[in-house]
Structure 1
Amino acid sequence: MLVLAGLVAWSLWPEDERPDPRSRVYTEASACLLTPAQGITDPSAAPVWAGMRQASEETLGKVSFLEVDGPQTAQNASTFFATLVSGGCDVVLAAGSAPSAAMLQGAAQFPGAKFIAITTVDDGKTQANLVKVTEATPERVTSRVHDLVEEVLSAEGD
């Protein structure tokens, strides 16, 4: 009798309607980062990743990264760069010398894509689909990347 009463009470108990506080529903918008072999722990990539994550939290756009494995050259990084571009990212970012060099060399091949290169070199050349972030401090890089990525993710997520 007690078991039966317990089962009836359990089946009639109201369910908790609150969503799981850890779950997050993302939009289809995405930003992808190409990093050196150390990934987002690389000193050139860490402030970029921080800005991307902040933008993701505010817009619910997806962010991801891909490490350049093997030789850290522009030629080797260009394969990884092309992978991100063909993967459907709404904006592709590059941090570190090899990833940024690959982006600066290859962005013109993909006129319909959006790119953000974090680089210490501003050669004065401009491309319609490429923004160069040349800020000197990690904090300023994070802030600038946040603003740029938030703009793209907000527009693409609508």
Structure 2
Amino acid sequence: MWGTFSARTRWIVVGTASAVVAAVAVWLLWPAAEEPRPREYADVTACLLTDQRGLSDSEAAATWAGMQEASLATKGQVRYLQVAGAQTVDNAATFVGTLMLNRCAVIVGVGPLPREAIAQTAPNHPDQRFMVVGEGSGGANVSTVSAVPANDLRGLISNAIEFFLTAGN
């Protein structure tokens, strides 16, 4: 069979076959890429409560961004909950209760409705920490972050949430 081919053709065929075998061997023996590991979180959570606008509100969006920064810095978890249904203080208070059941180290309220729900709930739960963004009535367990421009708010919230996430750990 090889007699009909020239020596040059034989070397080309053998060289090509060798290159293919080598490429397949390298491909098979190449170390597999490491699977990305899921992020490990500390067992502490900060929670954000918003009204029906959710994170579309600029104050809520800046607060959430600050909370996420704090999460990266501390490995604490952050989550948010939007008040669904009737936009009443009593209904919003049930969402505050849900966040307390989820063992949030601090519950942050943004917007008039969440702030009022926290003001109503906080006195009955002195061991729970709360924070309101904007004007709000403080209490022994309620911190207030004044309304400031979004860029400043993000940094203030990040620092405050870092404190709560590390203190709760």
Would you say same fold, with TM above 0.5?
A: yes
Look up the equivalent residue of 2:84 and give its one-letter code.
D
1:137 corresponds in structure 2 to 149
Let me know the Cα RMSD of the aligned residues. Answer: 2.6
Question: What pairs with 1:1-158 in structure 2 (closer than 5 Å)?
Answer: 14-16=31-33, 20=36, 23-121=38-136, 123=137, 126-157=138-169
Kindly indicate whether the alpha-carbon contact (under 8 Å) linking 1:36 and 1:42 is maintained by their aligned counterparts in 2: no
CA deviation map 1:19-40 (0-9, x unaligned): 62x7311111110111111212
Structure 1 gaps, min length 5? 1-5
Distance apart, 1:43 and its partner CA:
2.5
Distance apart, 1:7 and its partner CA:
10
Question: Secondary structure at the residue paired with 2:132?
Answer: strand
Percent of aligned positions that are identical: 35
Change in 2 beyond 3 A, CA 1:43/1:73? farther
Q: Which has the higher helix share?
A: 2
Kindly indicate whether the alpha-carbon contact (under 8 Å) linking 2:135 and 2:144 is maintained by their aligned counterparts in 1: no
Aligned residues: 152
Change in 2 beyond 3 A, CA 1:135/1:44? closer
